[in-house]
């Protein structure tokens, strides 16, 4: 069993937990310990685990990921008003080879997904996204992946998989279960024009850092459609992480990245959340702890909604444009918006019904002004291919 490879939480962290108040996370998380073994998985909502693999780091790491310090910062935070049952199943150490580590991560992820438990993976490097993506094999046919990253991470065609080229592996690896890829927060000067062109050719979605920062709500419909979310902390400002090397002066601030994390938690489709490229600094540990807290907070606000013209909880809006007739739905409960995309293949929908693409109110207003939303066009063209 892959779970046998998990290293229990250290005695140092367990000793720290003993002195926490009863309302702290550390008192309420069910932990993997040397003495008691793995916690009970039944009824668990979220499973946290670390992956210490860093051999495929683009910038070689001098020190191991300090999961103990992260856990101390996470455990000291207070519980929200949640129904979530949280388990911390320990860490995956480096295997004999990187592929060995990937295999263990893949098997642990698959086991959790099959149990309907949402994994929160804290990885040293973002290439670990690859085995987490492959864990959906046999569980979900087509995957929507959202990466929060300053780079697209395509790399060179012949380059070995690394933390800056794992997306090339995901796109080319068989079976190809990637239906859509979206990037939030890319910074143009880190990405070759060829990579930007590739995103366009494949009808993938990309949002520049400035666009998201100027309106954080743009991230919500993208994350609402995601199954797997991968966060590269190098999308965050260096000053927010307490580091200078390998990080940029530009990026999301702490409040913005926590808001995006909360949107990921609220999304009823998100089944796995990965946080990568953490640095061993106190600010980094505290920020990652708060990102995890905000994701779990979002989980407590999840509502399953399926817009329908027969449902009184939704209003249907039909917008005629010069080339298409667009049909929008607005929820009266959450005030969220969707738009129908008729050409998406029926096998991606239930009962051969028209697919619904999450969107914003601004998309509806743009359509009323005869401007068809770009995401709708990409989804429509993708369905035709």
- If one compares 281 and 385, the residue with the highest pLDDT of the two is 281
pLDDT at 159 over 60: no
Residue written as token pair 């492959």: 134
| pLDDT at site 163 | 58
> What would the CATH number be for the domain defined by 2-299?
3.40.800.10
Q: Per the confidence metrics, is the pTM higher than 0.75?
A: yes
- In DSSP terms, which residues pair with 229 in a beta bridge? 146, 273
Task: Please name the residues in contact with 352: beta carbons below 8 A apart, sequence gap of 6 or more.
Answer: 346
Element holding 10 (H helix, E strand): none
Domain boundaries, given as residue ranges, for the chain: 2-299, 314-384
Residue in the block written with tokens 């060995």: 100
CA–CA dist 172, 190 (Å, integer): 22
pLDDT at position 63 over 90? no
Predicted confidence (pLDDT) per residue in 234-245, tens digit = 999 999 999 878
Specify the pLDDT at position 338. Answer: 96
pLDDT value, residue 65: 93
180-235 pLDDT, tens digit each: 999 999 999 999 898 899 899 989 999 999 999 999 999 999 999 999 999 999 99
Q: Which among 144, 3, 118, 122 is positioned nearest to 53, based on CA atoms?
A: 122
Residue 217, pLDDT score: 95
CA–CA gap between residue 367 and residue 27 (Å, rounded): 50
The pLDDT assigned to 352 comes to 45
Mean pLDDT taken over the chain:
91
Query: From CA 198, how far away is CA 255, in angstroms rounded?
Result: 31
pLDDT digits (tens, 9 = 90+) for 92-131: 999 999 999 999 999 999 999 999 999 999 999 999 999 9
pLDDT of 170 higher than 50: yes
In a 3-state reduction of DSSP, which class is residue 284? helix
- In angstroms, the CA 236 to CA 75 distance is 23
Q: Quickly state the pLDDT bin for 350 (edges 50, 70, 90).
A: very low
**What's residue 188's pLDDT?**
94
Residues 6+ apart with CB under 8 A from 243: 279, 281, 284
Q: Is the pLDDT of residue 344 over 90?
A: no
Tokens of residue 132, six digits: 């987490």
Model confidence over 250-263: pLDDT tens digits? Answer: 999 999 999 999 99
How much is the average pLDDT of 374-380?
90
Using the predicted structure, report yes or no on whether residue 155 has a pLDDT greater than 90.
no
Residue 1: per-residue pLDDT: 73
60 pLDDT exceeds 70? no
Tell me: pLDDT of 359 over 70.
yes
CB burial of residue 281 (10 Å; 0-12, 13-18, 19+):
middle
Is the pLDDT at 31 greater than 80, yes or no? yes
Paired with 180 in beta bridges are 144
**What are the DSSP calls for 142-207, one per residue?**
SEEEEEE-SS-----TTSPP-TTTHHHHHHHSSS--EEEEEEEEE-GGGS-HHHHHHHHHTT-EEE
> Does residue 322 surpass a pLDDT of 90?
no
- pLDDT tier at 384 (50, 70, 90 boundaries)? low
pLDDT, average across residues 280-304: 96
Q: pLDDT grade, residue 343 (50/70/90)?
A: low
């Amino acid at each position: 069993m892959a779970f046998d490879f998990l290293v229990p939480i250290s005695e140092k962290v367990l000793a720290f937990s003993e002195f926490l108040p009863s309302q702290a996370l550390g008192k309420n998380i069910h932990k993997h310990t040397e003495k008691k073994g793995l916690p009970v998985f039944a009824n668990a909502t979220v499973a946290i685990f670390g992956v210490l693999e860093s051999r495929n780091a683009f910038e070689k790491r001098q020190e191991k990921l300090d999961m103990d310090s992260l856990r101390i910062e996470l455990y000291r935070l207070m519980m929200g008003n949640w129904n979530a049952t949280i388990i911390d199943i320990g860490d995956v150490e480096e295997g004999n080879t990187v592929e060995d580590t990937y295999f263990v991560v893949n098997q642990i992820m698959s086991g959790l997904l099959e149990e309907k438990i949402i994994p929160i993976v804290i990885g040293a490097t973002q290439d670990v996204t690859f085995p987490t993506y492959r864990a959906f094999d046999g569980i979900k046919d087509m995957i929507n992946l959202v990466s929060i990253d300053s780079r697209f991470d395509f790399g060179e065609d012949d380059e070995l998989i690394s933390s800056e080229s794992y997306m090339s592996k995901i796109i080319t690896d068989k079976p190809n279960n990637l239906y859509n890829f979206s990037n939030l927060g890319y910074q143009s000067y880190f990405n070759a024009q060829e990579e930007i062109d590739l995103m366009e050719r494949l009808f993938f979605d990309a949002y520049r850092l400035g666009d998201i920062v100027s309106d954080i709500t743009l991230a919500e419909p993208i994350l609402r459609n995601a199954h797997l979310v991968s966060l590269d902390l190098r999308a965050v400002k260096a000053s927010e992480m307490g580091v200078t090397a390998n990080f940029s002066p530009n990026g999301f601030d702490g409040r913005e990245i926590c808001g995006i994390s909360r949107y990921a938690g609220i999304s009823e489709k998100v089944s796995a959340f990965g946080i990568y490229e953490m640095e061993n600094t106190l600010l980094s540990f505290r920020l990652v702890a708060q990102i995890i807290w905000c994701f779990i907070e979002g989980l407590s606000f999840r509502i399953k909604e399926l817009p329908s013209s027969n449902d009184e909880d939704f209003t249907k809006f039909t917008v005629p444009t010069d080339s298409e007739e667009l049909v929008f739905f607005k929820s009266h409960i959450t005030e969220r918006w969707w738009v129908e995309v008729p050409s998406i293949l029926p096998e991606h929908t239930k009962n051969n019904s028209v697919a619904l693409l999450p969107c914003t109110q601004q998309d509806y207003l743009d359509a009323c002004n005869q401007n068809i939303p770009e995401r709708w066009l990409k989804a429509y063209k993708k369905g035709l291919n």
